[in-house]
Structure formats: structure tokens, C-alpha cells
Structure 1
Amino acid sequence: MPEPQDTEVRQLDARSLRGLAHPLRMQLLDALRFGGPATASQLAEKLGESSGATSYHLRQLAAHGFIEDDPERGKGRERWWKAAHRGLGFDDSLLVDADPAVRGAAHLYLHEVATTQTRDLSTWLGTRADWPEDWNRSWDMSSATLRLTPQLTRELTQKMHELIATYRDRCTDADAADTAQVRLHTHAFPLTTDQETPR
């Protein structure tokens, strides 16, 4: 979840979640957030989809306020799109909403996020030989198993997010030769073992 009070992060509600919870729409939004403005045709080629499908789902994302026209580029025949927010915030209450359609959309959204994170990591593992040695000494794939209460787990995740936030604006020159977008995934969840059952 994003750090608190971040005005560049859109908090999902029942209506907007139902407009986003589709695998292709989530991929399109990620492509615009991390790859910058693009047209439906460019996104179709990048994602291996038809331009008709990308155009339709881009219009749906725009209708729900996730993306918007890019006025600096939209002077030609094709419409250019850009992400309207830097990130998204998910409220766990959506998982227990009274409307089963909202609950279904919440589950689909979370599973698609998990799938995307796994795909990101697999892509890095498959392409890391293409990166300079310095990046190959900087990456991390680690895990830790701790015995914690729910309260301590919330405290730990909050501190991790606060630490990450302090690095957000450390590199201001996006064109510098030694910078890249670095993806950080955080996961914290209880494990069920043979000796223990959920309580």
C-alpha cells in the first residue's frame, strides 16, 4: 500500500475498482505509468493485443479517471494517453463489500497485481545478463520469516513504506546514464504450517 497522505496516489473505491479490475486494463495502466505516454497502436504492439481491444479498454480507463489525454502529444491523428496518477491505493474493506461484484473485482485486482509482480521478477531474471555489472551487483531477491503479531506486522510494513518514500526523489535526473526505474515489491502475510492453523 502507498505511504499515507500521498496526493499522487489514487485511492480505489467500489466504482473505480470495477472499472479497473480487468487484466488488460491493468496492463495498459502499468504501461502508461512506467513507460510514459503512448497511443493505442503503440500499446497494442507492446502488449501483443489488437488496437481495437486496446482502444476500447483505454476509453474505459479514461471514463473512470485512471488515464487522460496527453495534450503535449495529441496533435496528430492518433490519440495519446498518459496515466493520471503515480500510483493506486487499495483498501481492504473492498474485500468484504456488501456487493459480491465488488468483492469479485477486489480479488481479481489483487491476484492480477501478484501475477504482475511475479512477471516483473521473472523478466529481470531472464534479462539481467543484458544489464551492466553494477546493476547485477545491486539487485535483491530475499525473504525473511519472523514471528509477529498483526500489530507488529502493520508497524513493520509501515516503516518499510516510509523508508521507500525517502528514496522517491533522490534521483532527480531521469536521463542520467546510470539511473533506471527500480521496482520494489513488498509482501507480508502469515504462513500456515503443519503445526499451526489460522486463528
Structure 2
Amino acid sequence: MTDDDIPETFHVSTDEQLRAVSNLTRHRIMAVLRFEPATITQIAERVGLAKGSSSYHVRLLERAGLVKVVRTRKVRGVTERYYAMAARAIVLPDPGEGGPDVLMRHAIADLEAAPADGERHVRMAHLRLTGEQFAELGARLRALADEYLELSDPSLPDASLAFALFHPGPSTQAGEGGK
């Protein structure tokens, strides 16, 4: 299987798939497989899991259709399987139940796992916007992310971008002292 054979996107559409991507350990496994195929042993080493745990999580991802075996080879009489992502990008339901929660938990887990001495740009801002400004900002953020996605070069170091523009619930706004 070549990189050209890998579909561009995989749309998460079933409860089984959503449960599979919701788990942070499985998210870390998918991150390992993002750029190159790996065996259960290699995945276990890179994620810091026991081989049995790694195998269990990979089987769940495979059953959900998110990863697949891309090649096998015989090593001392045992068939070694190399797993890879089923697509270049995993698309969560929008706004499917649990979708934004899963996305933000994964973004936070990735940020926490990033080297502490690495360059980061992290900011949270509480804004007061009209409905029109809110829609415009959302569109601009999506367009900017899409623009840089088009510029993305697989030979360059990986960078992650996550953003969330939302209206907080009433309890969050009340906690600000009504300001």
C-alpha cells in the first residue's frame, strides 16, 4: 500500500467509531501511526504500554475501521503485522454528541505531551461579540486553518492547531460576577 492509496478522510459515523477515538490511549496510538506504519511492539514502545494493552487498543481501532494492516512479514515463524491509519485525517461528527469534547480532550493531551521547552502559542480570550462578529470570527478561523492545511508539507515537522469558539453556558458567565 502506498501513500497514494490512503483515503484523504475517514468520517466517524458510528457509536463504535466515536468510542474508539474518544479514548486518549487510542488517540496516542493513532498519533504514532499518523506518519508511518508500525507493529504492535513498536506502538507499545512509543506509547509506553505493555504489548498486550497495545494489541487490545489496536484491535478496537481496527474493528472500528480507523486503522488497518498495511503489510505483514514473517519473523522467526511469527507473522508480524504493520498497522497504519485508514485515512490521512479523521473527521469527527459536527456537532455530533461528544465530538467537541473528544476534540478538545485530544488537543489538551497532545499539548501536555509536547516538549515543555518547545515553541508554543497558547491563548484563551473571553470576548464579547455580536452574532455577526461571532459568525465572522468563526469563518476566519476556519479559513486560516484551511489555508495552512493546504500549505502543509509531510516532510516538515508536525504542528497541531486546535481552536474552539463558543458561547459559554450560563453558569460560566455567572461565575464572572455578571460582568
State the TM bucket, normalised to the shorter chain. 0.7 to 0.9
- Within 5 A, what are the aligned runs for 1:76-155? 76=74, 77-92=79-94, 94-95=96-97, 106=98, 110-124=100-114, 126-128=116-118, 136=119, 139-149=120-130, 152-155=133-136
Q: TM-score, with normalisation over the residues of structure 2?
A: 0.73
- Identify unmatched segments of 5+ residues in structure 1: 1-6, 96-105, 129-135
CA contact (8 A) 1:39 1:81 kept: yes
User: 1:164 and 2:148 equivalent?
Assistant: no
Q: TM-score, with normalisation over the residues of structure 1?
A: 0.67
- Within 5 A, what are the aligned runs for 1:1-199? 8-15=8-15, 16-33=17-34, 35-71=35-71, 74-76=72-74, 77-92=79-94, 94-95=96-97, 106=98, 110-124=100-114, 126-128=116-118, 136=119, 139-149=120-130, 152-170=133-151, 172=153, 174=155, 179-191=156-168, 192=173, 193-195=176-178
SS at the partner of 1:81?
strand
Per the TM alignment, residue 111 of structure 1 is displaced from its structure 2 partner at its CA by: 4.3
CA contact (8 A) 1:117 1:185 kept: yes
CA contact (8 A) 1:14 1:94 kept: no
Q: Deviations over 1:74-96 (max 9, x none)?
A: 3243210001122222335532x
Q: 1:114 to 1:194 in 2, by over 3 A?
A: same
Q: 1:43 to 1:181 in 2, by over 3 A?
A: same
Question: Which AA in structure 2 matches 1:194?
Answer: G
CA RMSD of aligned residues (A): 2.7
Separation in 2, partners of 1:17, 1:166? 27
Separation in 2, partners of 1:173, 1:48? 25
Question: Which AA in structure 1 matches 2:91?
Answer: G
Q: Deviations over 1:86-140 (max 9, x none)?
A: 2222335532xxxxxxxxxx3xx65454333223333446132xxxxxxx4xx42
- Identify unmatched segments of 5+ residues in structure 2: 1-6
SS at the partner of 2:111?
helix
Overall identity of the aligned pairs, in %: 23
CA contact (8 A) 1:70 1:81 kept: yes
